[in-house]
Amino acid sequence: KAGVTQTPRYLIKTRGQQVTLSCSPISGHRSVSWYQQTPGQGLQFLFEYFSETQRNKGNFPGRFSGRQFSNSRSEMNVSTLELGDSALYLCASSSRQGNTGELFFGEGSRLTVL
């Protein structure tokens, strides 16, 4: 069974640009979550989608947005990039709706903002 796939793996942008990251969950998983990982802050929750609906949202500005498609694939977008947005963005999928479900992570998309 294929794991969680994230693209692109690495990207470099400049301040003010926007970026779109893509995530394909494990087949059959309907929940997709996004996390930002930085050395100082650890993993910070961005948002979660289930069946194309955003169920939870973390404490990030409106420049961070996401969506989920009918095939459960998800994208996240960051507009008007800032230097502080440089991070590893992790996508995770889950088959469970409740809180006992395991998250399966992709390898991440590493964004560098210059």
Partner 1 sequence: GNSVTQMEGPVTLSEEAFLTINCTYTATGYPSLFWYVQYPGEGLQLLLKATKADDKGSNKGFEATYRKETTSFHLEKGSVQVSDSAVYFCALSEGFTGNQFYFGTGTSLTVIP
Q: Which is nearer to partner 1, 52 or 107 (CB)?
A: 107
Q: Which is nearer to partner 1, 70 or 100 (CB)?
A: 100
Which residue is listed with tokens 């440089």?
86
Q: Which positions touch partner 1 (CB under 8 A)?
A: 3-4, 31, 33, 35, 40-45, 48, 50, 55-56, 58, 90, 92, 94, 96-108
How far apart, in whole angstroms, are the C-alpha atoms of residue 86 and residue 66? Answer: 17
User: For 22-34, b where at least 16 C-beta lie within 10 A, e where not — what string?
Assistant: ebbbbeebbbbbb
Q: Which is nearer to partner 1, 49 or 78 (CB)?
A: 49
How far apart, in whole angstroms, are the C-alpha atoms of residue 71 and residue 12? Answer: 28
Q: Provide, rounded to whole angstroms, the least separation between the CB of residue 90 and partner 1.
A: 7
Q: Provide, rounded to whole angstroms, the least separation between the CB of residue 88 and partner 1.
A: 10
How far apart, in whole angstroms, are the C-alpha atoms of residue 97 and residue 39? Answer: 29
